[in-house]
Amino acid sequence: SNLISFSFQQRIEIHKLRQGDNLILGFSIGGGIDQDPTQNPFSEDKTDKGIYVTRVTEGGPAEVAGLQIGDKIMQVNGWDMTMVTHDQARKRLTKRNEEVVRLLVTRQSLQKAVQQSMMS
Amino acid sequence: MSAAMDTESTYSGYSHYSGHSKKAHRQGRDRHKSPRSKDGSRSEKSVTIQTPPAEPLLGNDASRAEEGQDDNWGETTTAITGTSEHSISQEDIARISKDLEDSVGLDCKRYLGLTVAAVLGLLVFLTPIAFILLPQILWRDDLEPCGTVCEGLFISVAFKLLILLIGTWALFFRQPKADLPRVFVFRALLLVLIFLFVFSYWLFYGVRILDSKDTNYQGIVQYAVSLVDALLFIHYLAIVLLELRQLQPMFTVKVVRSTDGEARYYSLGHLSIQRAALVVLENYYRDFTVYNPALLTASKSRAAKHMAGLKVYNVDGPGNNASGQSRAMIAAAARRRDSSHNELYYEEADHERRVKKRRARLVVAVEEAFTHIKRLQAEEQQKAPGEMMDPREAAQAIFPSMARALQKYLRTTRQQQYHSMESILQHLSFCITNNMTPKAFLERYLNPGPTLQYDRDRWFSKQWTLVSEEAVTSGLQDGIVFVLKCLDFSLVVNVKKIPFIKLSEEFIDPKSHKFVLRLQSETSV
């Protein structure tokens, strides 16, 4: 086939939104080293126990910042997220004294072959 | 065409008449047969002249072949039934001959074997005592004195002989339960062994001790002790050969009754064919339902109807091609569009419904009858002396209310000849005495039980013949088939070896039973 899949990293800066007493980011995470990696629909490697973005609320801060569903979060504010438990990941994202989180995410995408783009 | 129709109506008239006369002498067992043959003749569309189904008269198959060919069979039938009132059926003849055989007793072979064994046993038992006593009697003065050692040996000989006596009594002195066609190989071998053994001991004793008048009495006593020890070992050998070897199951045996296909499986060890046949028969009386000839008539009449009404005419001239004729008949019968399967289905469904209905009536009648009886307690016995009855009277009091329902049920399931009124009354008083419920009383009548449950006269199976291609004293092997025949049916026995089982083990450490919780949570941040 003419499709090549590769992943590229992206840095995303999300400004938290204040809702009452909470600061929300507007997305949901799944995964972690204490979870079952085979049930993760977004990972290519079913043994990957990393943290994945499972939902992005419409119009929320995450969507505005460019986070997409299926992204794997590698770092949050410099903290590694590839070998953390689910709860640890949640804690790192929801620190009360932080208003901005800078994420390093990995996204898979499929692109048509370079040939086709050259032909067009 | 009209001539053929006329012939048909004449013949159907004959078949009805003969069916009626036969009815009188068959006790109503084949009541359905005559109407069915009439229907069969009316539905036939062919032009051939039908001979009505040749039913066996008096159970004699030889006359059947002649009947089928004879066009005047109607008259012949009447003539035979005229004399049948005074003649006895083949069953009765067989039973009389069997009783004669039992009373005379062809037990000479058995008694001969028993006497030989008894004489040998006595001889063997007295031999050590003779060995010890003979020197004392014959040359007492020359013997060396032999104090404590000999006395100790005397005690040991006495106790060993006692043990041998008890062991022999336990092992061999049992009521023989069967009369087998050939001699027991192992028993004969053991008797021969014992005889040779004792003979050689006597020979040695006679030559070396009696002739030379040996004075070493202790040696003689020790010789007698060694004989007793060896006899105990032979007794051990007898236990192993005769009892222990066949305990471990090695073969599975399938027993099928030839008349209705009832089958059972048994496990046997290393036995000879005749002993295996004995085990099978002992289990037959306990496990198989009783043989009921009344249940078999339906399939025979069906089969007879299948080939009935076909006659082969050879139009190409003389020449009796028997196999060609029979093949033509079989092909024609197969091609014929008969509805016997339909008949069977509806008949069976009808019969089942009738049985269930009668059974329901019977159960209700018995339950109602049992409610009339109440057991008197001890105090009440003094209060109502006039009405007290013993179990037999109580049974007679409630029997009439259930008699009709019971009789009808037994008739429907064709069991009526197995239960006489006296036996039913006896069973009823037995159930009343033992506080049984109506269902417990009925258990005996609702289903046919094993042969042992019934009176010996109704067994149909007392004298058995073993039919086998291998010698009956040879041991069981995989694939052997032998047949146990009695007068009315036979049991076909098929022997199969129990397969060699290869069992391996797998060890699981109890500490390795560990589990993980597989979650998939989603948290929104």
Report how far apart, in Å, the C-alpha atoms of B63 and of each of A37, B54, B80, B87 are.
Answer: 88, 10, 11, 15
pLDDT of residue B47: 39
Radius of gyration of chain B (CA): 36
Say which of A24, A28, A94 has its CB closest to residue B522.
A28
Stretch B174-179: mean pLDDT, rounded? Answer: 74
Distance in Å, alpha carbon of A111 to nearest chain B alpha carbon: 29
Is residue B328 one of the residues assigned to a domain?
no
Mean pLDDT of chain B: 78
Residue B473: is its pLDDT beyond 60? yes
CB pairs < 8 Å spanning A and B? 39
- Kindly state the tokens that stand for A91: 């804690």
Residue contact B525–A93, C-beta within 8 A: yes
Q: Which residues of B4-35 are buried (b: 16+ CB within 10 A; e: fewer)?
A: eeeebeebbebbeebbeebeeebeeebeebbe
Residue-level pLDDT at B257: 94
Min Cα distance A119 → chain B (Å) is: 44
- Domain assignment present for B197: yes
ipTM above 0.85, yes or no: no
Whether B230 shows a pLDDT value over 90: the answer reads yes
Residues of chain B with Cβ-Cβ distance to A28 below 8 Å are: 522-525
User: Whole-angstrom Cα distance, residue B374 to residue B377?
Assistant: 9
Number of domains in chain B: 3
Range of the domain at B230: 98-246
State the number of CA atoms in the 13 A half-sphere of B146 facing the CB. Answer: 22
Distance CA B63, CA B61 (A): 6
**Residue-level pLDDT at A114:** 53
What are the distances in angstroms from CA B209 to CA B141, B152, B220, B303?
15, 22, 8, 81
Does B78 score more than 60 pLDDT? no
Residues B140 and B177 in one domain: yes
Contact yes or no for B405/B362 (Cβ under 8 A): yes
Closest CA to A81 of A64, A62, A103: A103
Give the number of residues written for chain B.
525
Beta strands at A22-24 and B251-257: parallel, antiparallel or unpaired: unpaired
- Cβ contact, residue pair B520, A25, below 8 Å: no
Q: Is the same domain home to B492 and B413? A: no
Q: What 8-state DSSP symbol labels residue B462?
A: S
Residues B271 and B205 in one domain: no
The pLDDT of residue B178 is 75
Rounded to whole angstroms, what are the CA distances from A43 to A12, A39, A75, B93, B517? 20, 9, 17, 92, 20
Chain B residues inside the 8 Å CB shell of A93? 525
Nearest by CB to B523, which of A29, A39, A40?
A29
Terminus-to-terminus CA distance in chain B, angstroms? 102
3-state SS, one letter per residue, for B64-120: HHHHHHCCCHHHHHHHHHHHHCCCCCHHHHHHHHHHHHHHHCCCHHHHHHHHHHHHH
C-alpha separations of B365 from B55, B333, B374, B389 in Å: 39, 48, 17, 21
CB contact under 8 A, A35 and B519: yes
A66 CA: distance to closest CA in chain B (Å): 16
Q: What's the whole-number mean pLDDT along residues B281-299?
A: 87
pLDDT of amino acid B384: 67
Same domain, B415 and B346: yes
Q: Closest Cα partner for B216 from B145, B158, B156, B152?
A: B145
Torsion angle (degrees, nearest 10) of CA B420, B422, B427, B429: 160
Evaluate if residue B196 carries a pLDDT over 90.
yes
Residue B453 has pLDDT above 80, yes or no: yes
Residue ranges of domains in chain A: 9-119
**pTM assigned to the model:** 0.62
C-alpha–C-alpha distance, residues B313 and B326, integer Å: 12
**Amino acid A111: pLDDT:** 55
- The H-or-E segment that residue B346 falls in is helix B340-371
As a whole number, mean pLDDT of residues B311-332 equals 76
Mutation pick from A29, A48, A84 vs chain B, by most beta carbons of B within 10 Å, is A29
Q: A7: distance to nearest CA of chain B, Å? A: 23
Please enumerate in sequence order all residues whose Cβ is within 8 A of that of B159, keeping only pairs 6 or more positions apart, or say none.
none
Q: Report chain A residues whose CB lies below 8 A from the CB of B521.
A: 30, 35, 86
Tokens 């450490």 locate to B509
Alpha carbon distances (Å) from A17 to A11, A77, A97, B121, B253: 19, 17, 13, 112, 85
Closest CB to B525: pick one of A24, A34, A39.
A24
CB spacing of A27 vs B524 below 8 angstroms: yes
Q: Where are the beta strands (DSSP E) in A1-118?
A: 3-15, 17-19, 22-24, 27-31, 51-56, 72-76, 79-80, 100-112
Q: For tokens 């106790």, what's the residue?
A: B159
What gap in Å lies between CA A70 and CA A42, rounded to an integer?
Answer: 5
The 3-class SS string of B145-172 reads CCCHHHHHHHHHHHHHHHHHHHHHHHHH
Q: Return the residue matching tokens 């105990």.
A: B232
Tell me what pLDDT residue B212 has: 82
In the predicted structure, residue A104 carries a pLDDT above the cut 60: yes
Domain shared by B487 and B419, yes or no? no
Within 8 A of A55 by CB-CB distance, chain B residues are: 522, 524
* Domain membership flag for residue B84: no
Q: How far is CA B290 from CA A87, B255, B280, B407, B456, in A?
A: 76, 15, 15, 19, 11
Residue B192 lies in a domain: yes
Note whether A28 contacts B: Cβ–Cβ < 8 A.
yes
3-state secondary structure of B39: helix
Instruction: Please check whether residues B442 and B469 belong to one and the same domain.
Output: no
B152 found inside a domain:
yes
For residue B378, give both structure tokens.
Answer: 């001890």
B268: in domain: yes
- Whether residue B397 is found in the same domain as residue B345: yes
Closest CA–CA distance from residue A109 to any residue of chain B (Å) = 23
Using CA atoms, how far apart are residues B76 and B74, in angstroms rounded to an integer?
5
> 3-state SS string over B390-459?
CHHHHHHHHHHHHHHHHHHHHHHCCCHHHCCHHHHHHHHHHHHHCCCCHHHHHHHHHCCCEHHHCCHHHC
Homologous superfamily (CATH) of A9-119 is: PDZ domain (2.30.42.10)
Could you say which residues from 33 to 52 on chain A have a Cβ atom under 8 Å away from some Cβ of chain B? Answer: 34-36, 39-40
If asked whether residues B133 and B151 sit together in one domain, one would say: yes
Which of B336-350, B407-421, B435-449 is least confident?
Answer: B336-350
Using the predicted structure, report yes or no on whether residue B49 has a pLDDT greater than 50: no
Task: Say yes or no: B345 and B280 in one domain.
Answer: no
Quick one: tokens of B63? 């006359």
Q: Is the pLDDT confidence value at B2 over 90?
A: no
Q: How far apart are CA B117 and CA B172, in angstroms?
A: 10
Does B179 share its domain with B279? no
- When mean pLDDT is compared across B113-117, B190-194, B458-462, the lowest value belongs to B458-462
| B219 lies in the same domain as B286 | no
CA B120 to chain centre: 35
Q: Are residues B104 and B149 in the same domain?
A: yes
